[in-house]
């Protein structure tokens, strides 16, 4: 049993009231914590049996007591997970083996080459709106980080809007004390970090995170998996790539409305699913970073679709030698027709730039068979300007014109002008031959 057990347990308990633990409970839990063969849920069940406890205990207990009515104006909750805990198909400890070279490839930030994820902050905000701007408040700041042999999820929850300044100042101290060296998000460059910067500026607090190397996994995730999956939402990729057993616990669009309802009536049960959702997102982000890193392991066994994705990442760095190698390996595998065409297009563009005409022509012929006149145009240009074979160029241009006849005036005009020019060149070439004695 893995991390899903604990998350489901926390969800079902709905943030149950946490009471001070007696010495006997502390001692029993200490003994059970050393047994990594048990899931968190199994340890909790044994703890209740050993101590006769009547209430649910979450290790470690939050520093505050959560009431089912209105809670504290500002809460900090922390949930530690043993490194050997599994989330989907990965153990959390696998993240610590991800090398800086891979983080650089994913992030395009050279500073990651000297880093690993042991000092990274995994950040995810829940806010009063999805559009950003000065009117949007982050009421839940979710953070994942490795400390003391655990992966911890810390959450600052803003129980009253009037306490935002205190939350910002507490966050600033927390970031400084933890001394994070990098930030990992999912769409954080466009949303989370700019929003947090705005709130810190409003309260005249510096945000040191802004200066750190930042891996926004959304962009490499699209390169790696957009051609493979219908959606690149974090929730969807967590299910499909990480193989996490998570449900669509709460739609993102519903979260602001739940928070505003809580502000009106103080019912903390409205917030419990948001806390759970935020924890899942952070764990999904960690799992997805591990899944992405696995694809870059030398001699790793990955399928043809993943080879295409890795090739796109290398191409985004301008590393055409590696990207070409992955594209050619992908073509040798089992690819859907549309993806194979996309791979051939990228390869043909590279071979054209490097003037490897034999390989480019072979790919253009394959692609033109799909009825795309653009590749007839590429071939016609080659035979006219490089091979100086005007007859062959004319034949290909005529085929291209026939294909383009229903595809727009611009392409038709291009082929028509090309044919006029080629006919003139062929005529001049023929006259010159006749004048030779």
Structural domains for the chain: 1-59 (no CATH), 70-294 (3.30.420.10), 304-435 (1.25.40.10)
pLDDT band at 1 (very low <50, low <70, confident <90, very high): very low
Residue 126 has phi, psi (to 5 degrees) of -115, 130
70-79, 225-234, 305-314 — which is least confidently predicted?
70-79
Cβ atoms < 10 Å from Cβ of 425 = 16
What local confidence, expressed as pLDDT, does residue 68 receive? 43
Sheet holding 138-147, edge to edge: 74-82, 150-158, 138-147, 120-127, 182-185, 214-216
- What is the rounded (10 degree) CA torsion for 192, 194, 196, 199? -140
Cβ atoms < 10 Å from Cβ of 26 = 11
pLDDT band at 114 (very low <50, low <70, confident <90, very high): very high
Full-model pTM: 0.81
Close Cβ partners of 264 (under 8 Å, ≥ 6 residues apart): none
Instruction: Report the sign of the C-alpha dihedral through residues 424, 430, 433, 435, in that order.
Output: negative
CA distances from 340 to 143, 337, 347, 420 (A): 40, 5, 11, 34
pLDDT band at 29 (very low <50, low <70, confident <90, very high): very low
Return d(Cα 93, Cα 184) in angstroms, integer: 16
148-152, 301-305, 408-412 — which is least confidently predicted?
408-412
Return d(Cα 63, Cα 76) in angstroms, integer: 7
Residue 87, strand partner residues: 90
Taking a C-beta distance cutoff of 8 angstroms, is the pair 102, 296 a contact?
yes
Taking a C-beta distance cutoff of 8 angstroms, is the pair 214, 189 a contact?
yes
325 burial via Cβ count (<10 Å: 0-12, 13-18, 19+) = middle
Helix (H) or strand (E) holding 28: helix 23-33
Return d(Cα 267, Cα 290) in angstroms, integer: 37
pLDDT band at 9 (very low <50, low <70, confident <90, very high): very low
């Amino acid at each position: 049993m893995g991390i899903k057990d604990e998350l489901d347990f926390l969800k079902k308990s709905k943030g149950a009231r946490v009471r001070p633990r007696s010495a006997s409970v502390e001692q029993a839990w200490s003994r059970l914590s050393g047994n990594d063969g048990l899931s968190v849920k199994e340890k909790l069940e044994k703890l209740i049996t050993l101590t006769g406890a009547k209430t649910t205990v979450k290790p470690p207990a939050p520093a505050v007591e959560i009431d089912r009515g209105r809670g504290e104006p500002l809460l900090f909750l922390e949930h530690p997970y043993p490194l050997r805990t599994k989330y989907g198909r990965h153990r959390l400890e696998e993240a610590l083996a991800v090398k800086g070279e891979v983080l650089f490839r994913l992030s395009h930030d050279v500073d990651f080459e000297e880093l690993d994820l042991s000092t990274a902050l995994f950040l995810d905000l829940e806010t009063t709106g999805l559009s950003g701007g000065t009117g949007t408040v982050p009421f839940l700041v979710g953070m994942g980080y490795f400390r003391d042999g655990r992966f911890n999820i810390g959450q600052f929850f803003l129980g009253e809007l009037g306490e935002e300044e205190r939350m910002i100042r507490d966050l600033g101290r927390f970031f400084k004390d933890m001394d994070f060296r990098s930030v990992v998000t999912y769409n954080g460059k466009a949303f989370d970090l700019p929003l947090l910067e705005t709130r810190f500026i409003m309260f005249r607090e510096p945000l040191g995170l802004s200066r750190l190397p930042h891996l926004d996994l959304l962009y490499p995730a699209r390169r790696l998996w957009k051609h493979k999956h219908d959606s690149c939402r974090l929730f969807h990729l967590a299910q499909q790539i990480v193989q996490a057993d998570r449900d669509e616990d709460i739609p993102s669009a519903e979260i602001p409305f739940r928070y505003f309802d809580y502000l009106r009536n103080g019912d903390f049960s409205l917030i419990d699913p948001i806390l759970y959702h935020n924890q899942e997102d952070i764990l999904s982000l960690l799992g997805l970073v591990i899944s992405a890193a696995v694809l870059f392991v030398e001699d790793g066994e990955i399928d043809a679709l993943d080879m295409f994705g890795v090739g796109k990442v290398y191409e985004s760095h301008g590393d055409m030698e590696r990207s070409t190698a992955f594209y050619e390996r992908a073509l040798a595998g089992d690819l859907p027709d549309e993806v194979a065409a996309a791979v051939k297009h990228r390869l043909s563009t590279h071979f054209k730039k490097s003037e490897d005409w034999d390989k480019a022509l072979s790919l253009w012929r394959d692609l033109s068979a799909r009825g795309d006149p653009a590749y007839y145009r590429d071939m016609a240009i080659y035979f006219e300007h490089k091979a100086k074979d005007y007859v062959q160029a004319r034949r290909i241009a005529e085929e291209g014109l026939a294909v383009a006849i229903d595809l727009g005036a611009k392409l038709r005009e291009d082929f028509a002008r090309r044919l006029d020019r080629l006919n003139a060149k062929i005529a001049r070439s023929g006259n010159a031959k006749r004048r030779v004695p």
